Structure 1
Protein backbone atom coordinates (compact mmCIF):
# COMPACT_ATOMS: atom_id res chain seq x y z
CA UNK A 1 0.00 0.00 0.00
CA UNK A 2 1.44 3.41 -0.88
CA UNK A 3 2.23 5.83 1.91
CA UNK A 4 -0.39 8.28 0.68
CA UNK A 5 -2.96 8.65 -2.06
CA UNK A 6 -3.79 11.69 -4.17
CA UNK A 7 -7.54 11.97 -4.56
CA UNK A 8 -8.27 15.51 -5.71
CA UNK A 9 -7.69 16.90 -2.23
CA UNK A 10 -4.37 18.09 -0.91
CA UNK A 11 -3.52 14.61 0.46
CA UNK A 12 -4.86 11.71 2.46
CA UNK A 13 -2.96 9.33 4.70
CA UNK A 14 -4.13 6.30 6.66
CA UNK A 15 -5.12 6.79 10.30
CA UNK A 16 -2.18 7.67 12.43
CA UNK A 17 -0.18 9.08 9.52
CA UNK A 18 -1.59 12.58 9.79
CA UNK A 19 -4.87 14.38 9.47
CA UNK A 20 -7.00 14.80 6.37
CA UNK A 21 -6.27 18.13 4.58
CA UNK A 22 -9.45 19.55 3.07
CA UNK A 23 -9.30 21.73 -0.04
CA UNK A 24 -10.78 25.25 0.46
CA UNK A 25 -14.15 25.77 -1.15
CA UNK A 26 -15.77 29.20 -1.68
CA UNK A 27 -19.18 29.91 -0.19
CA UNK A 28 -21.97 28.84 -2.51
CA UNK A 29 -23.01 31.68 -4.81
CA UNK A 30 -19.94 33.83 -4.16
CA UNK A 31 -17.93 35.61 -6.86
CA UNK A 32 -14.28 36.53 -6.97
CA UNK A 33 -13.88 40.33 -7.46
CA UNK A 34 -12.85 41.76 -10.85
CA UNK A 35 -9.42 43.17 -11.61
CA UNK A 36 -8.33 46.00 -9.34
CA UNK A 37 -7.62 47.98 -12.52
CA UNK A 38 -11.36 48.64 -12.77
CA UNK A 39 -11.48 50.43 -9.42
CA UNK A 40 -12.39 54.06 -9.97
CA UNK A 41 -12.97 53.54 -13.69
CA UNK A 42 -16.21 55.18 -14.81
CA UNK A 43 -18.04 53.53 -17.75
CA UNK A 44 -18.17 55.65 -20.89
CA UNK A 45 -21.63 57.23 -20.89
CA UNK A 46 -22.48 59.58 -23.78
CA UNK A 47 -26.02 60.14 -22.41
CA UNK A 48 -27.41 59.02 -25.74
CA UNK A 49 -31.05 59.68 -24.93
CA UNK A 50 -33.77 59.59 -27.62
CA UNK A 51 -34.82 63.12 -28.62
CA UNK A 52 -36.50 64.84 -31.54
CA UNK A 53 -33.28 66.69 -32.41
CA UNK A 54 -30.14 64.57 -31.88
CA UNK A 55 -27.12 66.85 -31.67
CA UNK A 56 -25.01 65.07 -29.06
CA UNK A 57 -22.90 62.40 -30.78
CA UNK A 58 -21.28 64.21 -33.73
CA UNK A 59 -23.24 62.13 -36.20
CA UNK A 60 -23.89 63.23 -39.75
CA UNK A 61 -27.39 64.78 -39.82
CA UNK A 62 -28.02 63.10 -43.18
CA UNK A 63 -28.35 59.37 -43.75
CA UNK A 64 -26.61 57.52 -46.58
CA UNK A 65 -27.77 59.04 -49.91
CA UNK A 66 -30.84 57.38 -51.35
CA UNK A 67 -29.07 56.69 -54.65
CA UNK A 68 -26.67 54.37 -52.79
CA UNK A 69 -29.35 52.36 -51.03
CA UNK A 70 -30.16 50.11 -53.99
CA UNK A 71 -26.47 49.39 -54.49
CA UNK A 72 -26.14 48.64 -50.78
CA UNK A 73 -29.12 46.30 -50.97
CA UNK A 74 -27.51 44.41 -53.86
CA UNK A 75 -24.21 44.15 -52.00
CA UNK A 76 -25.86 42.87 -48.82
CA UNK A 77 -27.94 40.36 -50.80
CA UNK A 78 -24.72 38.71 -51.93
CA UNK A 79 -23.32 38.26 -48.41
CA UNK A 80 -23.37 34.62 -47.23
CA UNK A 81 -24.67 34.81 -43.67
CA UNK A 82 -23.48 31.28 -42.83
CA UNK A 83 -19.81 32.03 -43.55
CA UNK A 84 -17.28 33.90 -41.46
CA UNK A 85 -16.12 37.21 -42.96
CA UNK A 86 -12.69 37.81 -44.43
CA UNK A 87 -10.68 38.22 -41.20
CA UNK A 88 -8.88 41.32 -42.48
CA UNK A 89 -11.50 42.62 -44.92
CA UNK A 90 -8.92 42.55 -47.68
CA UNK A 91 -11.12 43.91 -50.46
CA UNK A 92 -12.02 47.05 -48.50
CA UNK A 93 -8.51 47.21 -47.11
CA UNK A 94 -7.09 47.33 -50.64
CA UNK A 95 -9.65 49.95 -51.73
CA UNK A 96 -8.73 52.25 -48.84
CA UNK A 97 -5.03 51.69 -49.44
CA UNK A 98 -5.29 52.57 -53.13
CA UNK A 99 -7.17 55.78 -52.33
CA UNK A 100 -4.32 56.77 -50.02
CA UNK A 101 -1.52 55.78 -52.39
CA UNK A 102 -0.50 52.81 -50.25
CA UNK A 103 -0.30 49.03 -50.37
CA UNK A 104 -2.88 47.02 -48.45
CA UNK A 105 -0.46 46.07 -45.67
CA UNK A 106 -0.42 49.75 -44.60
CA UNK A 107 -4.13 49.53 -43.64
CA UNK A 108 -6.02 47.78 -40.85
CA UNK A 109 -9.80 47.73 -40.44
CA UNK A 110 -11.54 47.79 -37.08
CA UNK A 111 -14.98 47.58 -35.50
CA UNK A 112 -15.24 51.35 -35.39
CA UNK A 113 -12.41 53.56 -34.23
CA UNK A 114 -13.10 52.42 -30.67
CA UNK A 115 -11.78 48.89 -31.24
CA UNK A 116 -8.65 50.26 -32.87
CA UNK A 117 -8.05 52.66 -29.98
CA UNK A 118 -8.25 49.76 -27.55
CA UNK A 119 -5.84 47.78 -29.71
CA UNK A 120 -3.35 50.64 -29.44
CA UNK A 121 -3.42 50.31 -25.65
CA UNK A 122 -3.09 46.52 -25.91
CA UNK A 123 -0.14 46.64 -28.31
CA UNK A 124 1.81 49.66 -27.04
CA UNK A 125 0.58 49.87 -23.45
CA UNK A 126 0.54 47.47 -20.53
CA UNK A 127 2.28 47.06 -17.21
CA UNK A 128 5.47 49.10 -17.00
CA UNK A 129 4.58 51.19 -20.04
CA UNK A 130 3.40 54.80 -20.29
CA UNK A 131 0.78 56.70 -22.30
CA UNK A 132 0.91 60.49 -22.76
CA UNK A 133 -2.54 62.10 -22.71
CA UNK A 134 -3.44 65.69 -23.63
CA UNK A 135 -6.63 66.50 -21.71
CA UNK A 136 -9.27 67.62 -22.16
CA UNK A 137 -9.66 65.17 -25.00
CA UNK A 138 -11.55 61.96 -25.82
CA UNK A 139 -11.88 60.23 -22.44
CA UNK A 140 -11.66 56.74 -23.96
CA UNK A 141 -7.91 57.19 -24.51
CA UNK A 142 -7.13 57.30 -20.79
CA UNK A 143 -9.79 54.70 -19.94
CA UNK A 144 -8.17 52.20 -22.32
CA UNK A 145 -4.81 52.85 -20.71
CA UNK A 146 -6.22 52.20 -17.24
CA UNK A 147 -7.89 48.95 -18.31
CA UNK A 148 -4.59 47.69 -19.75
CA UNK A 149 -2.62 48.70 -16.63
CA UNK A 150 -0.76 51.40 -18.56
CA UNK A 151 0.59 54.39 -16.65
CA UNK A 152 -1.08 57.63 -17.76
CA UNK A 153 0.93 60.86 -17.84
CA UNK A 154 -1.03 64.01 -18.68
CA UNK A 155 0.07 67.32 -20.13
CA UNK A 156 -2.99 69.56 -19.82
CA UNK A 157 -4.04 71.87 -22.61
CA UNK A 158 -4.02 75.61 -22.09
CA UNK A 159 -7.10 77.57 -21.02
CA UNK A 160 -8.06 78.09 -24.69
CA UNK A 161 -7.71 74.29 -25.24
CA UNK A 162 -4.63 74.63 -27.42
CA UNK A 163 -1.83 72.10 -26.89
CA UNK A 164 1.01 73.17 -24.61
CA UNK A 165 3.48 72.16 -27.30
CA UNK A 166 6.74 72.89 -25.47
CA UNK A 167 5.52 71.02 -22.38
CA UNK A 168 4.64 67.99 -24.50
CA UNK A 169 8.02 68.01 -26.23
CA UNK A 170 9.80 68.39 -22.91
CA UNK A 171 7.89 65.44 -21.47
CA UNK A 172 8.62 63.04 -24.33
CA UNK A 173 12.27 64.07 -24.12
CA UNK A 174 12.44 62.20 -20.80
CA UNK A 175 12.36 59.02 -22.89
CA UNK A 176 9.80 56.95 -20.99
CA UNK A 177 6.69 57.55 -23.12
CA UNK A 178 5.55 54.52 -25.14
CA UNK A 179 2.63 56.04 -27.02
CA UNK A 180 0.89 59.39 -27.49
CA UNK A 181 -2.54 60.13 -28.91
CA UNK A 182 -3.25 63.52 -30.47
CA UNK A 183 -6.81 64.07 -31.68
CA UNK A 184 -6.78 66.45 -34.63
CA UNK A 185 -9.35 67.97 -34.63
CA UNK A 186 -9.58 67.43 -30.89
CA UNK A 187 -12.75 66.00 -29.39
CA UNK A 188 -14.56 67.73 -27.72
CA UNK A 189 -12.83 71.10 -28.21
CA UNK A 190 -12.56 71.09 -32.01
CA UNK A 191 -9.10 72.49 -32.72
CA UNK A 192 -6.52 71.03 -35.07
CA UNK A 193 -3.04 70.25 -33.84
CA UNK A 194 -0.52 72.19 -35.89
CA UNK A 195 1.32 70.23 -38.55
CA UNK A 196 4.61 71.77 -37.44
CA UNK A 197 4.08 70.59 -33.87
CA UNK A 198 3.17 67.06 -34.93
CA UNK A 199 6.32 66.80 -37.05
CA UNK A 200 8.44 68.06 -34.14
CA UNK A 201 6.79 65.50 -31.89
CA UNK A 202 7.41 62.66 -34.35
CA UNK A 203 11.08 63.63 -34.61
CA UNK A 204 11.49 64.10 -30.85
CA UNK A 205 10.46 60.61 -29.74
CA UNK A 206 10.46 56.96 -30.68
CA UNK A 207 7.04 56.59 -29.06
CA UNK A 208 4.13 55.60 -31.26
CA UNK A 209 2.26 58.80 -32.14
CA UNK A 210 -1.37 58.16 -33.05
CA UNK A 211 -3.06 61.09 -34.77
CA UNK A 212 -6.80 60.59 -34.42
CA UNK A 213 -8.27 62.01 -37.65
CA UNK A 214 -11.86 60.90 -37.05
CA UNK A 215 -13.04 64.33 -38.25
CA UNK A 216 -10.46 65.08 -40.92
CA UNK A 217 -13.02 65.26 -43.75
CA UNK A 218 -14.39 68.39 -42.06
CA UNK A 219 -10.95 69.95 -41.47
CA UNK A 220 -9.36 69.05 -44.83
CA UNK A 221 -6.07 68.48 -42.97
CA UNK A 222 -4.21 65.19 -42.61
CA UNK A 223 -0.77 63.84 -41.66
CA UNK A 224 -0.93 61.26 -44.47
CA UNK A 225 1.94 62.89 -46.48
CA UNK A 226 4.36 62.08 -43.63
CA UNK A 227 3.44 58.43 -43.15
CA UNK A 228 6.24 56.84 -45.19
CA UNK A 229 8.95 58.98 -43.59
CA UNK A 230 7.86 58.36 -39.98
CA UNK A 231 7.55 54.76 -38.83
CA UNK A 232 6.20 55.97 -35.47
CA UNK A 233 3.22 57.77 -37.07
CA UNK A 234 -0.16 56.07 -36.99
CA UNK A 235 -3.40 57.63 -38.34
CA UNK A 236 -6.92 56.69 -37.25
CA UNK A 237 -10.02 57.38 -39.36
CA UNK A 238 -13.66 56.36 -39.24
CA UNK A 239 -16.73 55.88 -41.42
CA UNK A 240 -19.00 57.10 -38.60
CA UNK A 241 -18.92 60.85 -39.17
CA UNK A 242 -18.52 62.13 -42.72
CA UNK A 243 -19.84 58.92 -44.32
CA UNK A 244 -23.03 58.62 -42.20
CA UNK A 245 -22.18 55.12 -40.93
CA UNK A 246 -22.17 55.56 -37.14
CA UNK A 247 -24.59 52.62 -36.93
CA UNK A 248 -22.32 50.29 -38.92
CA UNK A 249 -19.15 50.50 -36.76
CA UNK A 250 -16.23 50.69 -39.14
CA UNK A 251 -12.89 52.44 -38.83
CA UNK A 252 -9.34 51.99 -40.07
CA UNK A 253 -5.70 52.65 -39.32
CA UNK A 254 -3.02 53.86 -41.70
CA UNK A 255 0.47 52.94 -40.58
CA UNK A 256 3.80 51.43 -41.50
CA UNK A 257 3.51 47.66 -42.16
CA UNK A 258 5.88 46.98 -39.25
CA UNK A 259 3.35 48.67 -36.95
CA UNK A 260 0.26 47.13 -38.55
CA UNK A 261 1.76 43.65 -38.05
CA UNK A 262 1.82 44.22 -34.29
CA UNK A 263 -1.88 45.04 -34.27
CA UNK A 264 -2.63 41.75 -36.04
CA UNK A 265 -1.42 40.05 -32.84
CA UNK A 266 -3.92 41.75 -30.53
CA UNK A 267 -7.00 42.39 -32.66
CA UNK A 268 -10.14 40.32 -32.16
CA UNK A 269 -10.67 37.71 -34.91
CA UNK A 270 -13.46 38.51 -37.35
CA UNK A 271 -14.08 41.82 -35.58
CA UNK A 272 -15.41 43.50 -38.75
CA UNK A 273 -18.43 41.50 -39.85
CA UNK A 274 -19.28 40.72 -43.47
CA UNK A 275 -22.18 43.18 -43.56
CA UNK A 276 -19.99 46.07 -42.42
CA UNK A 277 -17.34 45.16 -44.96
CA UNK A 278 -19.91 45.11 -47.77
CA UNK A 279 -21.44 48.43 -46.73
CA UNK A 280 -18.01 50.02 -46.29
CA UNK A 281 -16.91 48.89 -49.75
CA UNK A 282 -19.91 50.48 -51.46
CA UNK A 283 -19.74 53.70 -49.43
CA UNK A 284 -16.00 54.20 -49.81
CA UNK A 285 -16.12 53.61 -53.56
CA UNK A 286 -18.87 56.25 -53.74
CA UNK A 287 -17.44 58.66 -51.18
CA UNK A 288 -17.62 61.55 -53.64
CA UNK A 289 -21.40 61.49 -53.14
CA UNK A 290 -20.87 62.63 -49.55
CA UNK A 291 -18.81 65.70 -50.43
CA UNK A 292 -21.79 68.01 -50.90
CA UNK A 293 -23.10 67.05 -47.47
CA UNK A 294 -19.69 67.57 -45.88
CA UNK A 295 -19.47 71.07 -47.33
CA UNK A 296 -23.01 71.80 -46.12
CA UNK A 297 -21.94 70.83 -42.59
CA UNK A 298 -18.93 73.13 -42.82
CA UNK A 299 -21.19 76.00 -43.88
CA UNK A 300 -23.68 75.27 -41.12
CA UNK A 301 -20.81 75.13 -38.62
CA UNK A 302 -19.96 78.74 -39.43
CA UNK A 303 -23.60 79.76 -39.16
CA UNK A 304 -24.03 77.93 -35.86
CA UNK A 305 -20.86 79.55 -34.51
CA UNK A 306 -22.21 83.02 -35.26
CA UNK A 307 -25.58 82.13 -33.77
CA UNK A 308 -23.99 80.99 -30.51
CA UNK A 309 -21.71 83.99 -30.36
CA UNK A 310 -24.74 86.28 -30.60
CA UNK A 311 -26.33 84.83 -27.46
CA UNK A 312 -25.39 86.83 -24.33
CA UNK A 313 -23.18 84.97 -21.89
CA UNK A 314 -22.19 82.20 -24.29
CA UNK A 315 -18.50 81.66 -25.13
CA UNK A 316 -18.10 79.49 -28.21
CA UNK A 317 -14.79 77.97 -29.34
CA UNK A 318 -13.56 77.74 -32.93
CA UNK A 319 -13.81 74.26 -34.44
CA UNK A 320 -12.45 72.38 -37.44
CA UNK A 321 -14.81 69.44 -36.88
CA UNK A 322 -18.59 68.92 -37.15
CA UNK A 323 -19.35 70.19 -33.63
CA UNK A 324 -18.88 73.25 -31.46
CA UNK A 325 -17.96 73.47 -27.79
CA UNK A 326 -19.40 76.37 -25.83
CA UNK A 327 -19.28 77.57 -22.24
CA UNK A 328 -22.00 79.31 -20.28
CA UNK A 329 -23.27 79.79 -16.76
CA UNK A 330 -25.70 77.11 -15.53
CA UNK A 331 -24.69 74.81 -18.36
CA UNK A 332 -26.11 71.74 -16.62
CA UNK A 333 -29.48 73.46 -16.29
CA UNK A 334 -29.29 74.52 -19.93
CA UNK A 335 -28.73 70.89 -20.96
CA UNK A 336 -31.85 69.80 -19.07
CA UNK A 337 -33.87 72.68 -20.54
CA UNK A 338 -32.78 71.81 -24.07
CA UNK A 339 -33.69 68.16 -23.55
CA UNK A 340 -37.10 69.26 -22.35
CA UNK A 341 -37.42 71.16 -25.62
CA UNK A 342 -36.60 67.99 -27.57
CA UNK A 343 -32.96 68.91 -28.29
CA UNK A 344 -30.16 66.64 -27.08
CA UNK A 345 -26.62 68.05 -26.87
CA UNK A 346 -23.58 66.68 -25.02
CA UNK A 347 -23.15 67.68 -21.40
CA UNK A 348 -19.55 68.27 -20.27
CA UNK A 349 -20.52 70.75 -17.56
CA UNK A 350 -18.98 68.72 -14.72
CA UNK A 351 -16.04 67.20 -16.61
CA UNK A 352 -12.55 68.23 -15.46
CA UNK A 353 -11.21 71.21 -17.44
CA UNK A 354 -14.56 71.47 -19.26
CA UNK A 355 -16.64 72.91 -16.45
CA UNK A 356 -19.79 74.71 -17.64
CA UNK A 357 -19.27 73.45 -21.20
CA UNK A 358 -21.71 71.85 -23.62
CA UNK A 359 -21.02 70.48 -27.09
CA UNK A 360 -23.45 70.67 -29.98
CA UNK A 361 -23.12 68.67 -33.19
CA UNK A 362 -23.74 70.55 -36.42
CA UNK A 363 -27.14 69.45 -37.65
CA UNK A 364 -29.42 70.37 -40.52
CA UNK A 365 -30.43 74.05 -40.88
CA UNK A 366 -33.77 73.28 -39.23
CA UNK A 367 -32.14 71.38 -36.35
CA UNK A 368 -29.62 74.15 -35.79
CA UNK A 369 -32.38 76.77 -35.74
CA UNK A 370 -34.37 74.81 -33.21
CA UNK A 371 -31.32 74.44 -30.97
CA UNK A 372 -30.41 78.12 -31.15
CA UNK A 373 -33.97 79.23 -30.46
CA UNK A 374 -34.27 76.94 -27.44
CA UNK A 375 -30.92 78.01 -26.01
CA UNK A 376 -31.80 81.67 -26.52
CA UNK A 377 -35.07 81.13 -24.64
CA UNK A 378 -33.19 79.59 -21.74
CA UNK A 379 -30.71 82.46 -21.54
CA UNK A 380 -33.44 85.07 -21.78
CA UNK A 381 -35.52 83.34 -19.11
CA UNK A 382 -38.45 82.58 -21.39
CA UNK A 383 -40.88 79.76 -20.80
CA UNK A 384 -40.43 76.55 -22.81
CA UNK A 385 -41.94 76.78 -26.26
CA UNK A 386 -42.06 80.57 -26.39
CA UNK A 387 -40.74 82.20 -29.52
CA UNK A 388 -37.24 83.54 -28.88
Structure 2
Protein backbone atom coordinates (compact mmCIF):
# COMPACT_ATOMS: atom_id res chain seq x y z
CA UNK A 1 0.00 0.00 0.00
CA UNK A 2 2.93 2.35 0.60
CA UNK A 3 4.90 1.41 -2.50
CA UNK A 4 6.50 4.36 -4.25
CA UNK A 5 7.13 2.49 -7.49
CA UNK A 6 5.03 0.05 -9.52
CA UNK A 7 6.33 -2.00 -12.47
CA UNK A 8 3.86 -3.45 -14.98
CA UNK A 9 5.16 -5.89 -17.57
CA UNK A 10 2.95 -5.37 -20.62
CA UNK A 11 3.13 -7.95 -22.18
CA UNK A 12 4.32 -10.19 -19.39
CA UNK A 13 7.18 -12.69 -19.37
CA UNK A 14 6.98 -15.70 -19.14
CA UNK A 15 3.20 -15.93 -19.50
CA UNK A 16 2.98 -13.83 -22.67
CA UNK A 17 -0.28 -12.18 -21.66
CA UNK A 18 -1.15 -8.52 -22.05
CA UNK A 19 -2.93 -6.93 -19.10
CA UNK A 20 -6.42 -5.65 -20.00
CA UNK A 21 -6.49 -1.96 -20.84
CA UNK A 22 -9.05 -1.31 -18.10
CA UNK A 23 -6.83 -2.95 -15.46
CA UNK A 24 -3.77 -0.91 -16.46
CA UNK A 25 -5.77 2.30 -16.54
CA UNK A 26 -7.26 1.57 -13.12
CA UNK A 27 -3.76 1.34 -11.64
CA UNK A 28 -2.58 4.47 -13.44
CA UNK A 29 -5.62 6.49 -12.39
CA UNK A 30 -5.60 5.44 -8.73
CA UNK A 31 -1.90 5.22 -7.92
CA UNK A 32 0.04 8.45 -7.55
CA UNK A 33 3.53 6.97 -7.24
CA UNK A 34 5.75 6.30 -10.24
CA UNK A 35 4.32 3.70 -12.64
CA UNK A 36 6.80 2.05 -15.01
CA UNK A 37 5.20 0.15 -17.88
CA UNK A 38 7.71 -2.32 -19.27
CA UNK A 39 7.00 -2.79 -22.98
CA UNK A 40 9.98 -4.98 -23.88
CA UNK A 41 7.70 -7.09 -26.11
CA UNK A 42 5.54 -4.29 -27.52
CA UNK A 43 6.33 -5.01 -31.22
CA UNK A 44 4.42 -8.29 -30.87
CA UNK A 45 1.39 -6.92 -29.01
CA UNK A 46 -1.94 -5.63 -30.29
CA UNK A 47 -1.54 -2.31 -28.47
CA UNK A 48 0.91 -0.16 -26.54
CA UNK A 49 0.54 2.25 -23.62
CA UNK A 50 2.11 5.46 -24.87
CA UNK A 51 -1.24 7.22 -24.47
CA UNK A 52 -0.94 6.71 -20.70
CA UNK A 53 2.39 8.55 -20.33
CA UNK A 54 2.00 11.37 -17.82
CA UNK A 55 3.77 13.12 -14.97
CA UNK A 56 3.85 9.82 -13.04
CA UNK A 57 3.76 7.18 -15.81
CA UNK A 58 6.69 6.19 -18.03
CA UNK A 59 7.14 3.50 -20.67
CA UNK A 60 10.42 1.60 -21.07
CA UNK A 61 11.40 -0.39 -24.15
CA UNK A 62 14.38 -2.30 -25.51
CA UNK A 63 15.84 -3.33 -28.85
CA UNK A 64 16.66 -6.75 -27.35
CA UNK A 65 13.44 -8.50 -28.36
CA UNK A 66 13.86 -7.50 -31.99
CA UNK A 67 16.99 -9.57 -32.48
CA UNK A 68 19.53 -7.19 -30.92
CA UNK A 69 19.82 -8.72 -27.46
CA UNK A 70 23.60 -8.28 -27.36
CA UNK A 71 23.30 -4.55 -28.00
CA UNK A 72 21.89 -3.88 -24.51
CA UNK A 73 20.11 -0.72 -25.63
CA UNK A 74 16.85 0.46 -24.13
CA UNK A 75 14.98 3.72 -23.83
CA UNK A 76 12.43 5.46 -21.66
CA UNK A 77 9.48 7.56 -22.79
CA UNK A 78 8.07 9.98 -20.26
CA UNK A 79 7.16 13.50 -19.23
CA UNK A 80 10.08 15.89 -19.85
CA UNK A 81 10.22 17.09 -16.24
CA UNK A 82 10.21 13.54 -14.90
CA UNK A 83 12.90 12.44 -17.36
CA UNK A 84 15.05 15.35 -16.21
CA UNK A 85 14.80 14.10 -12.63
CA UNK A 86 15.61 10.52 -13.65
CA UNK A 87 18.68 11.75 -15.52
CA UNK A 88 20.07 12.98 -12.20
CA UNK A 89 20.49 9.39 -11.00
CA UNK A 90 21.44 7.83 -14.34
CA UNK A 91 24.96 6.44 -14.38
CA UNK A 92 27.42 8.47 -16.48
CA UNK A 93 28.60 6.91 -19.76
CA UNK A 94 26.06 4.12 -19.32
CA UNK A 95 25.82 3.57 -23.09
CA UNK A 96 29.02 3.15 -25.09
CA UNK A 97 29.66 4.85 -28.43
CA UNK A 98 29.58 1.59 -30.36
CA UNK A 99 26.17 0.75 -28.89
CA UNK A 100 24.91 4.22 -29.76
CA UNK A 101 26.13 3.90 -33.34
CA UNK A 102 24.48 0.48 -33.67
CA UNK A 103 21.23 1.89 -32.28
CA UNK A 104 21.23 4.59 -34.96
CA UNK A 105 21.62 1.93 -37.64
CA UNK A 106 18.71 0.07 -36.07
CA UNK A 107 16.52 3.17 -36.19
CA UNK A 108 17.45 3.85 -39.82
CA UNK A 109 16.04 0.41 -40.67
CA UNK A 110 13.03 0.58 -38.36
CA UNK A 111 10.57 -0.50 -41.06
CA UNK A 112 12.54 -3.68 -41.68
CA UNK A 113 12.36 -4.68 -38.02
CA UNK A 114 8.66 -3.92 -37.87
CA UNK A 115 8.16 -6.22 -40.87
CA UNK A 116 10.07 -8.95 -39.04
CA UNK A 117 7.86 -8.45 -35.98
CA UNK A 118 4.75 -8.81 -38.15
CA UNK A 119 6.07 -12.11 -39.53
CA UNK A 120 6.73 -13.33 -35.99
CA UNK A 121 3.16 -12.46 -34.98
CA UNK A 122 1.79 -14.43 -37.91
CA UNK A 123 4.03 -17.39 -37.18
CA UNK A 124 3.09 -17.22 -33.49
CA UNK A 125 -0.55 -17.74 -34.43
CA UNK A 126 0.37 -20.75 -36.56
CA UNK A 127 2.60 -22.23 -33.85
CA UNK A 128 -0.11 -21.78 -31.21
CA UNK A 129 -2.67 -23.51 -33.41
CA UNK A 130 -0.36 -26.47 -34.06
CA UNK A 131 0.52 -26.84 -30.38
CA UNK A 132 -3.18 -26.82 -29.49
CA UNK A 133 -3.63 -29.93 -31.65
CA UNK A 134 -1.31 -31.97 -29.40
CA UNK A 135 -3.41 -34.12 -27.03
CA UNK A 136 -3.15 -32.84 -23.47
CA UNK A 137 -1.53 -29.52 -24.42
CA UNK A 138 -2.97 -26.23 -23.14
CA UNK A 139 -1.81 -23.18 -25.08
CA UNK A 140 -2.09 -19.76 -23.47
CA UNK A 141 -2.76 -16.57 -25.46
CA UNK A 142 0.45 -14.69 -26.25
CA UNK A 143 1.28 -11.12 -27.20
CA UNK A 144 5.03 -11.76 -27.28
CA UNK A 145 7.56 -13.61 -29.44
CA UNK A 146 7.06 -16.82 -27.47
CA UNK A 147 4.22 -19.18 -26.59
CA UNK A 148 3.48 -20.64 -23.16
CA UNK A 149 2.10 -24.17 -23.26
CA UNK A 150 1.18 -26.59 -20.48
CA UNK A 151 1.92 -30.22 -21.29
CA UNK A 152 1.28 -33.49 -19.41
CA UNK A 153 4.93 -33.78 -18.32
CA UNK A 154 7.17 -30.75 -18.85
CA UNK A 155 10.28 -32.40 -17.42
CA UNK A 156 10.00 -35.39 -19.74
CA UNK A 157 9.18 -33.18 -22.71
CA UNK A 158 12.12 -30.84 -22.05
CA UNK A 159 14.56 -33.75 -21.78
CA UNK A 160 13.24 -35.33 -24.98
CA UNK A 161 13.50 -32.05 -26.87
CA UNK A 162 17.09 -31.56 -25.72
CA UNK A 163 17.96 -35.00 -27.08
CA UNK A 164 16.72 -33.74 -30.44
CA UNK A 165 18.78 -30.55 -30.15
CA UNK A 166 15.75 -28.37 -29.40
CA UNK A 167 15.98 -25.98 -26.45
CA UNK A 168 12.92 -24.49 -24.78
CA UNK A 169 12.41 -22.95 -21.33
CA UNK A 170 11.11 -25.45 -18.80
CA UNK A 171 9.18 -23.40 -16.23
CA UNK A 172 7.92 -26.33 -14.19
CA UNK A 173 8.73 -25.75 -10.53
CA UNK A 174 9.34 -22.01 -10.84
CA UNK A 175 5.81 -21.05 -9.75
CA UNK A 176 2.64 -23.02 -8.91
CA UNK A 177 0.78 -21.34 -11.78
CA UNK A 178 3.44 -22.56 -14.22
CA UNK A 179 3.00 -26.23 -13.35
CA UNK A 180 4.28 -28.34 -16.29
CA UNK A 181 4.63 -25.29 -18.53
CA UNK A 182 7.12 -24.77 -21.34
CA UNK A 183 7.97 -21.43 -22.94
CA UNK A 184 8.67 -21.84 -26.65
CA UNK A 185 10.21 -19.01 -28.64
CA UNK A 186 8.69 -18.45 -32.07
CA UNK A 187 11.26 -19.46 -34.67
CA UNK A 188 11.35 -19.92 -38.41
CA UNK A 189 8.46 -21.93 -39.89
CA UNK A 190 10.57 -25.06 -40.27
CA UNK A 191 11.85 -24.72 -36.69
CA UNK A 192 8.31 -24.39 -35.35
CA UNK A 193 7.22 -27.43 -37.35
CA UNK A 194 10.12 -29.37 -35.86
CA UNK A 195 9.36 -28.50 -32.23
CA UNK A 196 5.66 -29.32 -32.65
CA UNK A 197 6.42 -32.68 -34.26
CA UNK A 198 8.96 -33.46 -31.55
CA UNK A 199 6.51 -32.63 -28.76
CA UNK A 200 3.73 -34.59 -30.41
CA UNK A 201 5.99 -37.63 -30.77
CA UNK A 202 6.98 -37.47 -27.08
CA UNK A 203 3.40 -37.81 -25.96
CA UNK A 204 2.50 -40.33 -28.66
CA UNK A 205 5.24 -42.54 -27.24
CA UNK A 206 3.89 -42.03 -23.72
CA UNK A 207 0.33 -42.93 -24.71
TM-score range, shorter chain: over 0.9
Deviation per residue, 1:307-326 (Å, 9 max, x gap)? 11000111110111111101
Measured after TM superposition, the shift of residue 333 of structure 1 is: 1.8
Going by fraction, where is helix more abundant, 1 or 2? 2
Does residue 191 (structure 1) correspond to residue 14 (structure 2)? The answer is no
Does residue 373 (structure 1) correspond to residue 197 (structure 2)? The answer is yes
- d(CA) in 2 for partners of 1:331 and 1:311? 14
Does residue 295 (structure 1) correspond to residue 121 (structure 2)? The answer is no
Measured after TM superposition, the shift of residue 263 of structure 1 is: 2.7
Does residue 359 (structure 1) correspond to residue 183 (structure 2)? The answer is yes
The correspondence for 1:211, drawn from 26, 37, 46, is 37
Residues 175-186 of structure 1: pairs in structure 2 closer than 5 A: 176-186=2-12
Residues 1-388 of structure 1: pairs in structure 2 closer than 5 A: 174=1, 176-227=2-53, 230-242=54-66, 244-352=67-175, 353-381=177-205
Higher relative contact order (CA 8 A, sep 6+): 1
Q: TM-score scaled to structure 1, two decimals?
A: 0.51
- Please state whether the residue corresponding to 2:71 is helix, strand or coil: coil
Measured after TM superposition, the shift of residue 273 of structure 1 is: 0.9
Q: TM-score scaled to structure 2, two decimals?
A: 0.94
Unaligned runs of 5+ in 1: 1-173, 383-388
- d(CA) in 2 for partners of 1:196 and 1:224? 15
4+ residue stretches of structure 1 with deviation over 3 A?
A: none
Unaligned runs of 5+ in 2: none
- Please state whether the residue corresponding to 1:381 is helix, strand or coil: helix
- Please state whether the residue corresponding to 1:193 is helix, strand or coil: coil
Measured after TM superposition, the shift of residue 327 of structure 1 is: 0.8
